[in-house]
Chain A
Amino acid sequence: MSTTLEALINRPYEYGFVTDIESDAIPKGLSEDVIRLISKKKNEPDWLLEFRLNAYRHWLTMTEPVWANVSHAKIDYQDIIYYSAPKPKKKLASMDEVDPELLRTFEKLGVPMHERKMLANVAVDVIFDSVSVTTTYKEKLAEVGIIFCSFSEAVQHHPELVKQYLGSVVPSADNFFAALNSAVFTDGSFCYIPKNTRCPMDLSTYFRINNAESGQFERTLIIAEEGSHVSYLEGCTAPRFDTNQLHAAVVELVVLDNAEIKYSTVQNWYAGDENGVGGIYNFVTKRGLCKGVNSKISWTQVETGSAITWKYPSCVLLGDNSIGEFYSVALTNHHQQADTGTKMIHIGKNTRSRIVSKGISAGQSNNSYRGLVKISAKADGARNYSQCDSMLIGSACGAHTFPYIEVMNSTAKVEHEASTSRIGEDQMFYFASRGIGGEEAVSMIINGFCKEVFNHLPMEFAVEATKLLGLKLEGSVG
């Protein structure tokens, strides 16, 4: 039985291909000159160059964090290409002008960019390496005053908004990787939802790393004005490479009075081969600020890829009665390492947070939940509920839970529950004795285990997530 399980979870990465497109890259290495060059290539205003340089100078004084429950060879930051853009770079008037090779790549990945996606009522801002290739639906969104564009475009067309909010949630000196990102980010997504506007569709960005040995440093900024609502989807896949690729993104969310951002991620970057060679290092800083009263941020993530994941989507609950949620599925296999979780910082009165984390470990992987619940002195009546469940497949993997709880207010109520289970022979036999074979049984058990999280994904994404877990652990889902 255990050999069947092993066979099921050891499927090769489906998206391991490299697209052959000429890249416009600057040489390897990082210096003030490189940063000035990036800023110049992107035709940026001086204040942004200053932002980058300040971040860089601070970064030079920092050291890589070592507290995460992961291990990897030392990263040589001078051996990374910090900017690459696919050629040709001229503005494209329509989808027909997009490089056919690129379109085929999206096709293979199943990026539903054309009519299919339009019918599904989803706008896509496709990031290919570092530059946005095309943005759809922008005009339709503009009718209701929503801005959804690449970060570079936002810098050119809405500099006042970018200047006001950039670094307001994740300061450039926040941590080592956030500082690095602030210095060298090349593109990303920008989204602005005006007052009392409900975004008429889910906004979706498809990230993809393509250029071998190029780091990717996206920057995402989403602002939800008073009384607005938006659901944002982020999905990632990457092709197979032998050398590790560093990915250090920063995502900032700002939510004002009575507004809500729902941010969903499905991540399936190349995780390295079965011996742990290659794969993406995913060191991401994601943080949302519930600035206004009754504001809400809900993070939902399905993490299945990357060699190493270091990621803690967090909520700072500043406004009274604001709500933070974190729903997570993290799956590791082979030699993958994940150290992921969340931080819920309660500052306002009657703030509430809910954490539901599901970790699945297979192979020789290591899966850690790390979460902080902090109730500050002024957060009267704050409440938190955390639930961390781990599932083990096989006997060579590890599951760990590191909950940190800091409570400075006696009226607060904090609950933490945790469980560990294993897909065992008896469970598999129960399915088998009903005629259900190994693949479908594992799939059903895993999907049942993750149901509470999947329920928070938009329908289309939930289907994708189910498929991804299926791919990672077995074949198809029944």
Chain B
Amino acid sequence: MISSNSKVILEVRNLSASVAGIEILKGINLTVRSGEVHAIMGPNGSGKSTFSKVLAGHPGYTVTGGEVLFEGQNLLELPPEERARNGVFLAFQYPIEIPGVSNSAFLRLTYNTQQAHRGGEELDPLEFNDFIQEKCKIVEMDPSFLDRSVNEGFSGGEKKRNEILQMAVLDPRLAILDETDSGLDIDALRIVASGVNKLMTPDNAVIMVTHYQRLLNYITPDFVHVMRRGRIIKTGGKELALELETRGYDWLDDEHQKAASV
């Protein structure tokens, strides 16, 4: 998918961030170009999820240094809703339930808000119904889910599929999938991964945060980054994920320390 004239979508330079006074991210550097899939792996507590939330603008985290450019624009100065409208999408590890709000009403509001921002055409409920029925097919979601309250009573797999459905509706430039594979059985994993693959174009990009290599069997990454203690300590191709699967993370730690001490 990578072509020589692909554009830089995201440029992260020396980003550090803290929560409740504790520094979690300690200088992240990452460049994502259009058409690329990046996997960010690492053990628990390495800062993977924090990184994705900071990119999306979660108010609980304080950026303490560095910068993030999204399509050349300073992302950090925008509130989360504007980041979303500009094309940054975060698929949640634990999607929130919204009792009493129908999935279709929620999706239509997000879609129309996005369209208004982009100067596109907003859809009335009937037009939106046609639109969303097509999108449901991408994640093999039964349209009856549209009438249910957002994520309420959904199984883990249904919630994750619903996240990808939202991604399909919003058509982001940059999708950040935070542990989208966690809690999924093998069928649900296949469906979710196939949905993401269908949504990939040469113009957008995906960052996948994951513990496990198995998601990468379905979505092939162009780059695999390993995070440890708030830093990216190693970057490689898809074969790095396989190596991690057999060797774990500790060897990297040793290697990184060795490199640092030389």
Contacts and interface: CB of A to CB of B under 8 A. Distances in A.
A452 B100 contact: yes
Interface string A408-435: 0000000000000000011101111111
Nearest to A451: B100
B92 A448 contact: no
Interface in B124-176: 149, 166, 170
B198 interface: no
Nearest to B58: A429
Contact of B100 (A435, A437, A447): A447
Q: For chain A, which range describes its interface: under 10, 10 to 19, 20 to 34, or 35 or more residues? A: 20 to 34
Contact of A444 (B56, B101, B117): B101
A435 B99 contact: no
Contacts, number: 75
A449 to B, nearest CB: 6
B125 to A, nearest CB: 13
A450 interface: yes
A448 B57 contact: no
Contact of A436 (B57, B83, B113): B113
Nearest to A478: B109
Given A432-B81, A435-B85, A435-B170, A445 B101 contact: yes
Contacts of A427: 96, 98
A449 B100 contact: yes
Contacts of A60: none
A168 B84 CA distance: 60
A439 to B, nearest CB: 10
Of residues A434, A445, A449, A450, which shows the largest number of chain B Cβ atoms within 10 Å of its Cβ?
A434
A119 interface: no
B29 to A, nearest CB: 24
B113 A435 contact: yes
Of residues B92, B99, B114, B170, which shows the largest number of chain A Cβ atoms within 10 Å of its Cβ?
B99
A422 B201 CA distance: 39
Contacts of B60: 425, 429
B35 interface: no
Contacts of A447: 100-101
Interface in B43-61: 56-60
Contacts of A426: 96
Interface in B97-116: 98-101, 106, 109-110, 113-114
A1 interface: yes
A285 B114 CA distance: 48
B59 A437 contact: no
A440 interface: yes
B144 to A, nearest CB: 18
A430 B163 CA distance: 11
Contacts of B202: none
B89 interface: yes
Contacts of A1: 59
A426 to B, nearest CB: 6
Given A447-B100, A452-B100, A432 B57 contact: yes
A425 B84 CA distance: 17
A451 B101 CA distance: 8
B236 interface: no
B90 interface: yes
B175 to A, nearest CB: 11
B79 interface: yes
Nearest to B88: A433
A298 to B, nearest CB: 20
Given A429-B59, A448-B149, A434 B100 contact: no
A444 B95 CA distance: 17
Nearest to B151: A430
Contacts of A440: 109, 113
A432 B98 contact: no
B81 A435 contact: yes
Nearest to A455: B100
B160 to A, nearest CB: 14
A327 to B, nearest CB: 14
Nearest to A448: B100
Given A426-B96, A444-B109, A435 B59 contact: no
Interface string A385-428: 00000000000000000000000000000000000000001110
Given A425-B59, A425-B60, A444-B106, A433 B90 contact: yes
Contacts of B99: 448-449
Contacts of B114: 435
B195 interface: no
A426 B90 CA distance: 13
A436 B59 CA distance: 15
Nearest to A437: B81
A440 B98 CA distance: 13
Interface string B71-90: 00000000111011100011
Q: Give me the 4 closest cross-chain CB pairs, A-B, nearest first.
A: A448-B100, A432-B80, A448-B101, A451-B100
Given A427-B96, A435-B170, 7 more contacts: A1-B59, A427-B98, A429-B59, A430-B95, A432-B80, A434-B84, A436-B113
Interface of A: 1, 425-427, 429-438, 440, 444-445, 447-452, 478
11 contacts: A429-B56, A430-B92, A432-B81, A433-B56, A433-B90, A435-B85, A435-B117, A437-B79, A444-B98, A444-B101, A449-B99
